[in-house]
Each structure stands twice: as structure tokens, then as C-alpha cells.
Amino acid sequence: MTSPTGRQPTLDEVAKLAGVSRSAASRAINNAAHVSAANRLAVERAVRELGYVPNVTAQALARQKVGAVVLAVSDHNKELFGDPFFGQIIAGVTAALEDTDLDLKLLLCHPERGHDRVRRMLRPPRADGIMVMALRGDDPLQRMVEKSGLPTVYGGLPLHGQPEWFVDVDNRGGARVAAEHLVSLGRRRIASIAGPADTHVAVARLDGFADALSVAQLDHTLVEHADFTREGGAAAMERLLEREPGLDAVSVASDNMAAGALQTLLQHGRRVPEDVAVVGFDDLPIGHLTQPSLTTIQQPIRSLGYEMARLLLAVVDGEKPSPLLLPTRLVVRESAPARVSLAAS
């Protein structure tokens, strides 16, 4: 079987006949290690059936691949990979790599010291591609990765610049929905616990909060920043209560921080949701364990990791995939239910 037009069959036609993605077909044809046996067999059959002739230059490049990809996280917190958020990210990445023989290398990059490991990884390349997360401000990790020329996919946008390949969540839209929910409950003195101001995710979520309150003609300046930890959220809630004792709702940029905020509110004798309604962001398991359970914005964390790795495999194989923006949704629980009796003013 040959191409209906009599021309040389294309890689896309091989992939279609084999029932696999273009990147999987490329990996099988180029005899890459990171391809499943089933996909390799299907592609080999399609190649024979179509009479496809591989590009010799592309095959030579493929043989130079290392057989490993990197997930580099720019942070000084040694407990970062113990965070449930990053646990789900890693689960998604490994799921995408499951049918390959690629090794996954995890790098936790301290802002001052940890980047030496990345330099050693990039010169000469000891990986076929890199996924980058948790960039802060004008992060040197971003500059090193861009300078290396290695295929790179960003998990979440950096604060500066627009990378060619990234997977992000609709942070601004999700935060806007959270604030709109609080407004719909009749709350009028609404505060925000935002993430670090030198991260794109925190800026986007704070922008979404401001969007919703501006439309409702409410003050959106009652904001405190924290570090996405439970302890940071508790301390930020303390500061907010000092500034505005009469606040009646809080939109929090992460579930971990929201758990800390709930703890502080309890210590101050504030009833949730009667006195203060609380909405988080993430939908981590901790949201089911707080008292009361946490209303939150669900983001597809595992899918974020999966799609990062999937895009990286495509880029490594020479494709030009489109970046992705993943949706969020509101999950209503006890901390900000759809109906609640407001405390007397």
C-alpha cells in the first residue's frame, strides 16, 4: 500500500494507520528506547504497508538522545516534593512517561546554590529535555534553560517572558470565580490571601480576585501575601484581622494557606462560614480534612504534570505542539456554601 497520490508517504500517514500519535510514530521509527512494544509493532506494520522511507538525518539525530528528562523546580524549600501539589505533578509526569524508557530526574534548585546542578546537567546535555516549574521573579534558572537550547516545557508561566511551550492553569479565571462566589453570598468586606508577589501564579490569581470585586464595585485592596504554606496562610490571616476586624470573606490562593487561615479564624472565635466565608484554590486532600471542609477552586494538578511531559516528548521529537491552558471549576463545601445565614452586622 502506498500513498493515494503516488508520492512518498508521510510520518503523519504512518501514525494514522498505526493508530498512534505522530510523536510515538517518530520515536518508533527512529528506534528510540522510550516507546512501548505495542506502539513499536503497530508502527513497523504501518511502515511496511505504506512503504515509508525514514529520514536518515532525523534518525541520526534521534540516536544521539540521552534517554532522560528533567523536572527542575526553582525553590529553596527542601520539603517541596513532599507537598501534595508536587506529589500530584510528579504522578502526572510519570504517567505520561510510563510507556517509555525515559528516566525522570528531579532537581530542586536553590536560588543561590542549586543551579550548579542544572549547569552540569545542561553542559554537555545529560538530558533530552527539561520541564521547569515554580520560577520566582527574574529567575536564573529560566535564563540557563533558555541559553541551553534544550527542548523546554514550562509548568505554569514565568513572571517575565512568554515561552513557546507551556502548560498552565486558568489561574485568573479560577480566582475570579472564587471571588464571584463570595460576592453572590452577600459578602461585602472580602479579603485575599495571595501567593508570593514574584510569581506569575500569584499575580494572575490576585488579578482574578480584583476583576470580580471591581465589577461588584467592592474594595479589592484588602490583600496580604504569603508563601503557599499553611503557616504562611495563618500569619496572613492574623494580619488581615488586624487591618479589618469586620471582614466577612477571604479568597485564598492555595488550599494549604486556606487551612492556616481557618485555624487563625477559629483561634479568634470567628465562625466559618457564618462570620467569615473562606474559599481556597487547588482542591488538595487537605480541603476534605479541615473543619469546616473547604470550598475551593479545583485545578487539574495531575493533568498539569501529564500534559507537561506529553508536550515535552513531542518537542523532543521535533514537533511544534501548541501550549495548553487547563480549566478550573468551583467546588462548594462547608466553608462557603451556596446558602448560609449571615452574622448580624
CA dist 38 → 26, 27, 29, 131 (Å): 14, 13, 13, 27
Domain 11-62 in CATH: superfamily? lambda repressor-like DNA-binding domains (1.10.260.40)
Q: What is the rounded distance in angstroms from the CA atom of residue 37 to the CA atom of residue 99?
A: 9
Same fold for the pair 68-169+301-327 and 171-299: yes
pTM of the predicted model as reported, rounded to 2 decimal places: 0.80
Query: pLDDT-based confidence at 1, cuts 50/70/90?
Result: very low
Domain 171-299 -> CATH class: alpha beta
Per DSSP, helices labelled H in 107-194 are 115-122, 140-148, 171-184
Q: What pLDDT score does 56 carry?
A: 52
Q: What is the rounded distance in angstroms from the CA atom of residue 317 to the CA atom of residue 62?
A: 8
Q: Which residue has the higher pLDDT, 199 or 56?
A: 199
Mean pLDDT estimate for the chain:
87
Q: What pLDDT score does 343 carry?
A: 47
Q: What pLDDT score does 39 carry?
A: 84
Q: What pLDDT score does 126 carry?
A: 81
Share of the chain above pLDDT 70, in %: 87
pLDDT tens profile 199-239? 999 999 999 999 999 999 999 999 999 999 999 999 999 99
Nearest to 110 by CA among 80, 77, 143, 85: 77
What amino acid occupies position 267?
Q
pLDDT tens profile 108-135? 877 666 567 777 777 777 888 999 998 8
Nearest to 256 by CA among 222, 290, 223, 224: 290
Q: What is the rounded distance in angstroms from the CA atom of residue 105 to the CA atom of residue 298?
A: 28
Beta bridge partners of 104: 69
* pLDDT > 90? residue 324: yes
Q: Which residue has the higher pLDDT, 12 or 166?
A: 166
Contact 88, 40 (CB under 8 A): no
Q: What pLDDT score does 60 carry?
A: 46
Q: Which residue has the higher pLDDT, 41 or 183?
A: 183
Q: What pLDDT score does 118 carry?
A: 74
The domain limits of the chain are 11-62, 68-169+301-327, 171-299
Q: What pLDDT score does 84 carry?
A: 85
- Residue bearing cell 508561566: 157
CA dist 188 → 10, 82, 219, 343 (Å): 60, 37, 8, 13
Domain 68-169+301-327 in CATH: superfamily? Response regulator (3.40.50.2300)
